Amino acid sequence: MSNRLDEQYRGILAELLYNGREKETRNGKTLSKFGMQIRHRMSDGFPLLTTKKMPIKTISTELLWFLKGDTNIKYLVDNGCNIWNGDCYKNYINNPAYKAESVADLMSSQSVQLVKCSTQEEFINKIKTNDKFAAKWGDLGPIYGSQWRSWRVGKGIETTLKTEDGQTLYESGSMYIDQIKHLLNELKTNPDSRRLMVNAWNVGEFDQMVLPPCHYGFQCYVVDGKLSLMWNQRSVDTFLGLPFNIASYGMLLMLLCKETGYTPGDLIGNLGDTHLYSNHIEQAKEQIERSSFNLPTITLSDVDILNGEFNFQLENYKSHPSIKAPLSN
Please give the sequence-ordered ranges of beta strands (E in DSSP) within 3-62, or none if there are none: 21-25, 28-41
- pLDDT above 90 covers what percent of the chain? 81
324 found inside a domain: no
Are residue 62 and residue 208 in the same domain, yes or no?
Answer: yes
Q: Of how many residues is the chain composed?
A: 329
Are residue 53 and residue 86 in the same domain, yes or no?
Answer: no
172 found inside a domain: no
Are residue 221 and residue 298 in the same domain, yes or no?
Answer: yes
Containing 260, the helix (H) or strand (E) segment is helix 241-260
Are residue 83 and residue 55 in the same domain, yes or no?
Answer: no
CA torsion 117→122→123→126, rounded to 10°? -100
159 found inside a domain: no
Query: CA 219 to CA 48: how far, in whole Å?
Result: 21
Supply angle C-alpha 217, 219, 222, rounded to 5: 165
27 found inside a domain: yes
Query: CA 226 to CA 191: how far, in whole Å?
Result: 10
Containing 199, the helix (H) or strand (E) segment is strand 197-199
The pLDDT value given to residue 102: 47
Number of domains in the chain: 2
Are residue 252 and residue 299 in the same domain, yes or no?
Answer: yes
C-alpha 175 chain-centroid distance = 24
- Choose one of 117, 140, 163: the last residue of a domain: 140
Are residue 220 and residue 282 in the same domain, yes or no?
Answer: yes
Query: CA 170 to CA 158: how far, in whole Å?
Result: 10
pLDDT digit string (tens) for 101-118? 444 554 555 544 556 788
249 found inside a domain: yes
The answer to whether the CB of 298 falls within 8 A of the CB of 314 is yes
* Catalytic hit among 81, 214, 220, 257: 214
52 found inside a domain: yes
DSSP state of 309: E
pTM, to two decimals: 0.92
In CATH, what number is assigned to the domain containing residue 11? 3.30.572.10
Query: CA 265 to CA 257: how far, in whole Å?
Result: 9
Q: Counting Cβ atoms within 10 Å, is residue 191 exposed (0-12), middle (13-18) or buried (19+)? A: middle
C-alpha 296 chain-centroid distance = 21
**Catalytic annotation present for 88:** no
Are residue 193 and residue 279 in the same domain, yes or no?
Answer: yes
Query: CA 55 to CA 321: how far, in whole Å?
Result: 11
The answer to whether the CB of 246 falls within 8 A of the CB of 4 is no
Could you list the pLDDT tens digit for every one of the 329 residues in the chain? Answer: 569 999 999 999 999 999 999 999 988 999 999 999 999 999 999 999 999 999 999 999 999 999 999 999 999 999 999 999 999 999 999 887 776 644 455 455 554 455 678 899 999 999 999 999 999 999 999 999 999 999 988 776 666 777 666 777 777 677 888 999 999 999 999 999 999 999 999 999 999 999 999 999 999 999 999 999 999 999 999 999 999 999 999 999 999 999 999 999 999 999 999 999 999 999 999 999 999 999 999 999 999 999 999 999 999 999 999 999 998 76
220 found inside a domain: yes
Q: Which of 184, 179, 105 is nearest to 144 (CA)?
A: 179
Query: CA 206 to CA 203: how far, in whole Å?
Result: 5
DSSP state of 72: B
- Choose one of 116, 140, 164: the last residue of a domain: 140
Q: Counting Cβ atoms within 10 Å, is residue 30 exposed (0-12), middle (13-18) or buried (19+)? A: buried
Are residue 212 and residue 111 in the same domain, yes or no?
Answer: no
Other residues' Cβ atoms within 10 Å of the Cβ of residue 38:
23
Are residue 200 and residue 91 in the same domain, yes or no?
Answer: no
CA distances from 96 to 79, 136, 311 (A): 30, 14, 41
- Choose one of 140, 170, 187: the last residue of a domain: 140
67 found inside a domain: yes
CA distances from 263 to 41, 145, 257, 309 (A): 11, 25, 6, 20
Are residue 185 and residue 310 in the same domain, yes or no?
Answer: yes
Domain that holds residue 218: 4-71+179-315
Query: CA 291 to CA 7: how far, in whole Å?
Result: 9
pLDDT digit string (tens) for 109-147? 554 455 678 899 999 999 999 999 999 999 999 999 999
Strands 151-152 and 176-177, bridge-based pairing: antiparallel
Are residue 78 and residue 65 in the same domain, yes or no?
Answer: no
Strands 263-277 and 226-237, bridge-based pairing: parallel
Are residue 49 and residue 193 in the same domain, yes or no?
Answer: yes
Q: Residue 70: what residue type?
A: D
